[in-house]
Structure 1
Amino acid sequence: MFTDLSPLILIHFITACYAIVAGAAIFLMQKGTATHRAIGASYIVAMFVTVASVVPVEATVMPIMGTRFGFFHVFVVVGFVSLTFGIRAILKWRSTRDAEWLRAHQIHLAYSYAGLLMAGFSQMATNPRWLVVSPFETMTQFWIAFAAVNALIYAIAIFLIQTRLAKGDPMRWYRGGDAARS
């Protein structure tokens, strides 16, 4: 299953798998702790490696205007921007202690994680390599599966982000005093 993967795709796969586990751990743990910061930093690094490692890979689906870049490379840009905004927001929060910067950090990284899950589950739902599906007979079937998986994950992400992160005090997940030491 993995023997024919290029080194870049193998790096992409390994760091994405790590980021899925690290991201889940971050969402489940208390925020503002040393553990949260350490795992969060490793998530950021893993995600940057994940997105950077796929940039040089030639598109196999929907190349853009005859280049080696394709439709799915657009998501690399989205992932990079989401991570960058999330990092910028936490740095701003650390210098200003303005709760809205903390909220922005939480929201951007939640969308980063949602995008990671969308990419991973899309691969599982559309790529026969992962032994979840049989090869599609038509591109229409491929795109329906792709759209359905992504729409479901995105809808769940929007619901959770809007009901859990976008409202209320962004400090509510912090243990007393840990946030002040960040």
Structure 2
Amino acid sequence: MSATAVFHTALGALALVTGAVVLARPKGGPWHRVVGRVYVVSMVVLCLASFGLRDSTPLFRGFGGFHVAAIVSLVTVSAGAWSAWRGGRTQRAGWLPWHYMWMAWSYIGLVMATGGHVARPIDLAFRDAGLSANVAVWLSVAVVWGLPPLVGRWWIARRLAAWDALGARLAPGSVPA
């Protein structure tokens, strides 16, 4: 494994951990901002480092699906960070749902990309369980690329509905997990 691949993998692990912690814990306050910034920086550097890796797919000649995912991730994490920065600085109403949605989708994309790196072992595990090759491939695709956006969409809708229901009872700058 190249040094770039090791660096990329370490940043991915850091982003997975910090993103999960930020999504699971109460929002707002200095702790949220510090860990959130670690997540954003690790995601941006992770995505940029991915361009130092070459996809083995001959069709793309070094540029592949993971690079497309890196571009999408750069957009989502940047939009999430921008909405918080702009909303927090200008006290613009309605910035919080946008910040949450963009950041949550950036994390879902990270989970999907990580799953893409482990799809083959999942496929092999299904085959070892006695499933046919076709069924194993489709099940691994469903687990890796189908389940995260389904669960993520449900989670985001649930969080936004809960915040909306709390509405005026929220103290400025504090939002539950």
Instruction: Please indicate the TM-score interval, normalised by the length of the shorter structure.
Output: 0.7 to 0.9
**C-alpha distance in 1, partners of 2:114/2:160?**
23
Instruction: Return 5+ residue gaps in structure 1 as ranges.
Output: none
Determine helix, strand or coil for the equivalent of 2:106: helix
Q: Which residue does 1:72 correspond to in 2?
A: 66
Q: Whole-Å Cα distance in 2 between the matches of residues 133 and 49 of structure 1?
A: 30
2-structure distance, mates of 1:6, 1:142: 28
Aligned length: 168
2:19–2:36 contact (8 Å) kept in structure 1: yes
Larger % of helix: which? 2
Q: 5 Å matches for 1:1-182? A: 5-61=1-57, 63-64=59-60, 67-126=61-120, 128=121, 134=124, 142=137, 145-165=140-160, 168-169=163-164, 176-178=171-173
How many angstroms does 1:24 deviate by? 1.1
Distance across 1 between alignment mates of 2:22 and 2:166: 15
**Superposition TM-score, scaled by structure 2 size:** 0.80
Alpha carbons of 1:74 and 1:7: their partners in 2 closer, same or farther (altered >3 Å)? same
Provide the C-alpha distance between the structure 1 equivalents of 2:29 and 2:39, rounded to a whole number of angstroms. 15
Q: Partners of 1:140 and 1:71 in 2: how far apart?
A: 23
| RMSD (Å) for aligned C-alpha atoms | 2.9
Please, which runs of 5 or more residues in structure 2 have no aligned partner?
Answer: none
Identity of aligned residues (%): 27
TM-score by length of 1: 0.78
